[in-house]
Chain A
Amino acid sequence: MAKIKSLNDLRNMQSDLQAKINLRERADHPESMVQIKVGMATSGIASGAKEVFNYLSEELQKRNIDAIVTQTGDMGYCFAEPTIEVTLPGQEPIVFGYVNIAKAKEIIDKYIMNGELVEGIIPKNYKTID
């Protein structure tokens, strides 16, 4: 390990290392960032939710978007798997159905980055308690 030579070096190192614990930092204040839940019950996984989950968490990381991607159980929309629920900061959650990787990219490009709605929204028919 090369020694840290200056405060600047230390700061650079700090910002490089931040990625290591970002996942934890973000969990401390989830309401201020994009939260995505991917429905990953048997039916979800069978129709490709695992790949979508991996894609979303990696892609958002790549684009430096502060987001929390978690998996959850069956949301009840087995006809439209994979389903994901996206909550933008300060907004109501929106559920999207039939999300494959192409759709997931579209959701990131349009809804998450620009707030534009995309096709495939499923009216939410449940409430959750924390």
Chain B
Amino acid sequence: MASYKYHILVCGGTGCHSSQSNVIAERLNEIIADKHLENDVKVVASGCFGFCEKGPIVKIMPDNTFYVGVKPEDADIIIAEHIIKGRKVEKLLYVDPDTKKHISDSKHMGFYQKQMRIALRNCGFIDPENIEESIARGAYEGLGKVLSDMTPAECINVVKQSGLRGRGGAGFPTGLKWELCAKNSADQKYVVCNADEGDPGAFMDRSIMEGDPHSIVEAMAICGYSIGATKGLVYIRAEYPLAIKRLQIAISQAREYGLLGKDILGSGFDFDIELRYGAGAFVCGEETALIHSMEGKRGEPTFKPPFPAVSGYLAKPTNVNNVETFANVPIIITKGAEWFASIGSEKSKGTKVFALAGQINNVGLIEVPMGTTLRDIIFEIGGGIKNGREFKAVQTGGPSGGCLTKKHLDTPIDYDSLVAAGSMMGSGGMVVMDETSCMVAIAKFYLEFTCEESCGKCSPCRIGNKRMYEILDKITKGKGKMEDLEELRNLASVIKDTALCGLGQTSPNPVLSTLDNFWDEYVEHVVDHKCRAGVCKSLMRYEIDPIKCIGCGACSRVCPQDAISGEKKMAHSIDTAKCIKCGACYEKCKFGAISIK
């Protein structure tokens, strides 16, 4: 075996991949071959490092140098300078936004300092397409331990003791879920991995599957042994081609090594996994709808009970867990329940992965212990709000969640505190908003999403959400009345109480939480016909200040509607009847004469 002096890790997650990280890896390999360094340097396409804002990322080991924003043409300088001459390439190093100093070791970056990577333990460290690297990191040891030293009941007990709760959103205790399924006897049971990640802006599960697929394969086998199932199914959306490919590779490698299939590790336990593809419907993340979709039926939820643990896939007892939940299982088995339970807050143990998005400096994937405050996440790890603007709100939990505001910044994040604050954990999407976001428009956006994704089976969700959407639409157009706000609350509470599944029951949350936290903004829209963020176009108009206007005519030339008129060198004016509020004139004016009213 060649004794490599350097490993060059190139991020192979979807984000970096689409900014040509695969070309970077190819180019590196070309140069390495050209300079006869094949025995000294190894290029590894790894999973996501999380710091997507600064991608593509290239990390050089063993000196732990973290290069950001790397382009294919930078491959030459990395080899020529770093590998051959031992000099760090300064222009590719991360610059600390506060001190303006270069930081080469990721451990010293604000983005990583407060993180704790358990579910993401191997992402950005191993080559996800190589089972040997996973095994070297301890993959399948948990499975081996369970199969040779533990009874199914003991294994379930460890998961129960660890305090692990479902990472898909609702936070149901995982061990209890397994136990319920284990109790039901049947000739065939199923383990299902819910990889139908549907929240807008969420990519936690995708990154885990892309960066560490063996952790999912191993956890599903452990679950199968615990509940007495021999078949596993991964329900994954077809929009995740890279995750699908990596899972397929992982499953076939595991079979080849005897870690899936008949008589695993000589224990007599059989288990195998198949993939099922979803078409990307949001409601199919709900477990009963997911099961129907896998059966080839319409992706519609059904009433619970019966719970899937009793009658699930093909009417057999079925245990459904989310990707991130599974990713935690193998390490709980190897490190023990106590270790896991020592991390996190009182009722929420372990860590949670969040996808940071929106108006935040460090967009990316982070993992923090439960109980970390929003302030730490947004300002320490996330690096604060873009362009030095003011923080306004953070949306957690996707279309089922709510908006939290400044007063919630010091709330420790866990399942229960988020619900108490009027939002929910959800799968872990976090969309950060600044003062340029209109909260009424945000509520409308999420409702539009729910209306589109509602399966239409129950009337509260199908009709109720549509009516709420119409009212919000009226308000954003300046035609709302104060009674409408009352009506919104009414509708919301009826939908919450009567909708069939989790999608419907939680769909009014974005409206309710914005009504609670941003009541003034709703009233402004209704009473003053004003949108303070300047988002609701019907409520704003552009005006030219006749004193500042020098009559250059630049605005009238860019106006697509010919709505601006005026004599040369004289103040111009806008015909509001013709104006479509595109903002072209506002952008063009060099004299600050055009303002939004």
Contacts and interface: CB of A to CB of B under 8 A. Distances in A.
A67 B86 CA distance: 17
Interface stretch (A20-28, A89-97, A101-109): A20-28
A81 to B, nearest CB: 14
A3 B61 CA distance: 31
B125 A68 contact: no
A7 B86 contact: no
Contacts of B3: 57-58, 61
Interface in A2-61: 3-7, 9-11, 13-14, 17-21, 23-24, 26-28, 30, 38, 40-41, 53-54, 57-58, 61
Contacts of A26: 62
Given A3-B257, A17-B135, A53-B5, A10 B265 contact: yes
A6 B148 contact: yes
A70 B63 contact: yes
A10 B141 contact: yes
Contacts of A41: 85
Interface in B142-189: 144-145, 147-148
A54 B41 CA distance: 12
B86 A21 contact: no
B331 to A, nearest CB: 15
Contact of A6 (B1, B86, B104, B265): B265
B7 A17 contact: no
B87 A11 contact: no
B339 interface: no
A115 interface: no
A21 B132 CA distance: 10
B82 to A, nearest CB: 9
Dominant secondary structure of chain A at its interface with chain B: helix
Given A14-B138, A68-B62, A40 B265 contact: no
Contact of A13 (B126, B135, B145): B135
Contacts of B256: 1, 3
Nearest to B261: A3
A41 B86 CA distance: 8
Interface size, A (range)? 35 or more
Contacts of A27: 61-64
B86 A73 contact: yes
14 contacts: A5-B258, A5-B265, A6-B266, A7-B141, A7-B144, A9-B265, A14-B141, A17-B132, A17-B135, A18-B136, A30-B62, A30-B64, A72-B86, A73-B86
A2 B138 CA distance: 19
B298 interface: no
A130 interface: yes
Nearest to A7: B144
A24 B258 contact: no
A58 B5 CA distance: 9
A86 interface: no
Of A14, A24, A38, most buried by chain B (CB within 10 Å of CB) is A24
A43 to B, nearest CB: 12
B140 interface: yes
Contacts of A21: 7, 125-126, 133, 136-137
Given A21-B7, A73-B87, 5 more contacts: A3-B257, A23-B4, A69-B62, A70-B63, A130-B105
A24 B61 contact: yes
Given A24-B62, A27-B61, A40-B85, A5 B266 contact: yes
A58 B4 CA distance: 9
B108 interface: yes
Interface of A: 1, 3-7, 9-11, 13-14, 17-21, 23-24, 26-28, 30, 38, 40-41, 53-54, 57-58, 61, 68-73, 130
B88 to A, nearest CB: 9
Contacts of A28: 64
Nearest to A5: B266
Interface centre among A14, A19, A20, A130 (most CB of B within 10 A): A20
A21 B7 CA distance: 9
A73 to B, nearest CB: 5
Contacts of A17: 132-133, 135-136
Please provide the 8 A-B residue pairs with the shortest distance between their CB atoms, ordered closest to farther.
Answer: A3-B258, A71-B86, A7-B144, A17-B136, A27-B62, A27-B61, A68-B62, A70-B63
Given A23-B61, A26-B62, A30-B62, A4 B133 contact: no
B133 A20 contact: yes
A31 B63 CA distance: 12
Interface in B330-381: none
B259 interface: yes
A8 to B, nearest CB: 9
B100 to A, nearest CB: 14
Given A19-B1, A24-B61, A27-B62, A4 B136 contact: no
Given A11-B141, A57-B5, A4 B86 contact: no
A73 B85 contact: yes
Contact of B7 (A5, A23, A69): A23
A7 B148 contact: yes
B328 to A, nearest CB: 20
Contacts of A38: 86
Interface string B8-36: 01000000000000000000000000000
A57 to B, nearest CB: 5
A6 B86 CA distance: 44
Contacts of A14: 135-136, 138, 141
